[in-house]
Amino acid sequence: MTCPSTSAWVAAGMKLTTTAATSCDKVLAEMKARVAGQYGAWHDPHNNGTYSVQSYGGTFSTSRLTGDGKYTDKQIFTLTTSGDSCVIEACSRSQVTSYLDYGTNYCDVKVLVCGSADGCKPVVNDFTTSGESTEAFAGSSVDLSSCLKVLSKPKASAAAAKVAAKVATIVEKEIEPTSAELSAAMMPKLKAQMTVEAADGPCCKSCEEPLAKYYSVDVPHGFCGETCMNPSKYWLFKIFESNLTKATDNTPCSEQFTPTGGHYTQYSSTVTHGVPGLLSITLDLFAPVGA
Paired sense of beta strands 72-82 and 223-229, if any? unpaired
The torsion of the CA quartet 71, 144, 141, 69, rounded to 10 degrees, works out to: 10
pLDDT tens-digit map of 213-265? 999 998 877 889 999 999 988 887 887 788 899 999 999 999 999 888 889 99
Cβ atoms of residues 12 and 83 within 8 Å: no
Q: Check whether 8 has a pLDDT greater than 80.
A: yes
Helix, strand and coil in the chain, % to nearest 5: 20, 30, 50
Q: Between residues 85 and 169, which one has the greater pLDDT?
A: 85
pLDDT in tens, 110-119: 999 999 999 9
Q: Which has the higher per-residue pLDDT, 271 or 178?
A: 271
> Which residues share a beta bridge with 285?
225, 269
Q: Going by DSSP bridges, is the β-strand pair 245-246/212-218 parallel, antiparallel, or unpaired?
A: antiparallel
* pTM of the complete model: 0.57
DSSP strand E in the chain: where?
Answer: 13-20, 50-54, 60-65, 72-82, 85-94, 129-137, 195-198, 212-218, 223-229, 245-246, 266-275, 279-287
